[in-house]
Amino acid sequence: MKIAIAGSGAMGSRFGYMLHQAGNQVTLIDLWPEHISTINTKGLSVESAGEQKFVRIPAAFPEDVHDDFDLILLFTKAMQLSDMLKKIAHLLTENTAVLCLSNGIGNLENIQKVAPHIDLLVGTTLWTSELVGPGSVILNGSGYIEFRAIENVSHETVNKINDVLNAAGLNARPSNNVLLSIWKKACLNGVLNTLCTILDCKIMELNKSQYTSVLTKRIVAEFESVAKAKDIPLTAELALKTIDASLAPDQAGDHYPSMHQDIASGRRTEIDYLNGAIARMGKELNIPTPTNTLITELIHAREDIAVKN
């Protein structure tokens, strides 16, 4: 397949690398000049299992890409998704499928507002990656993808995309309830990303404190209450099981999550599409969400201190 990665940060670079290694023609699209320049000059630096390699994958700004693609993977952060879609509008042809794997609640609605007629699939992934500098990523652990066609996508196309993803070792599977998958991932990130960012620790280090278990249960309980009101079958038991599995070192627990990476690099985070979304919807539905509201405010405070002007 000819595949474009729109948003080639930590996760986009990992997927671009794995799909490239499987023989696909991949183009990395991003907005960070130094990242693009480094990849094109030196290659994408990929470190995995203590080994480093440099991989030649073309990288470009959206306006400099003019190819026809079979598939575009959206990995842009939630708050930048609408802007990226506008920048790649010239690439959204009738022959191009778009799969959004960006984190957060509300991405589907944002995509449908900006690009209502595209061949759209949405999903979530538990793969992880760490962007350690321009053109440089560290790959951690294993993962999987759950996705579903939303509009205008044939079963043949879904199966072809699934086959391509699995040929790259990405462990993809169509989902019968992709909204549940998205909410479950948002709850996972609403715990691991936020607590690691506030406490300045790696994922597996959360187990060192009894207080993180208490906070986790409070965050999850509020996610469950709002999900129930939205007819999303997310239960605390299901969410906690997913969270516990992610704490293991062999499941990428031995790294800092993306929100921590964002703060460390002076970037804004996706908090308004995670805990912030729960706080906002809770207010609309008259459901108390004190823990998620506080978590959101704490992350925004960290952003204000860390973000580069």
H-run or E-run covering 238: helix 236-246
The angle formed by the CA atoms of residues 196, 197 and 201, to the nearest 5 degrees, is 45
> Residues 166, 156: contact at Cβ < 8 Å?
no
Residues 101/126, Cβ–Cβ less than 8 Å: no
141: which residues sit within 8 A by CB, 6+ positions away?
A: 127, 128, 250, 251, 252, 253, 255
* Pairing mode, strands 25-29 and 59-60: parallel
> If 0-12 CB within 10 Å is exposed, 13-18 middle and 19+ buried, where does residue 86 land?
exposed
Catalytically annotated residues = 185
**Distance from chain centroid for Cα 209:** 27
Q: Are the beta carbons of 82 and 114 closer than 8 angstroms?
A: yes
Residue 193, phi then psi, degrees to nearest 5: -65, -45
Pair 273, 78: CB distance under 8 Å: yes
Q: Which residues, listed in sequence order, are joined to residue 29 by a DSSP beta bridge?
A: 6, 60
Q: What is the DSSP letter of 44?
A: E
- Calculate the alpha carbon distances from 168 to 28, 123, 131, 163, 200 in Å: 16, 17, 20, 9, 33
Q: State the greatest distance between any 2 C-alpha atoms of the chain, in Å, as a whole number.
A: 53
Alpha helices in 71-177 (DSSP H): 81-87, 107-114, 155-167
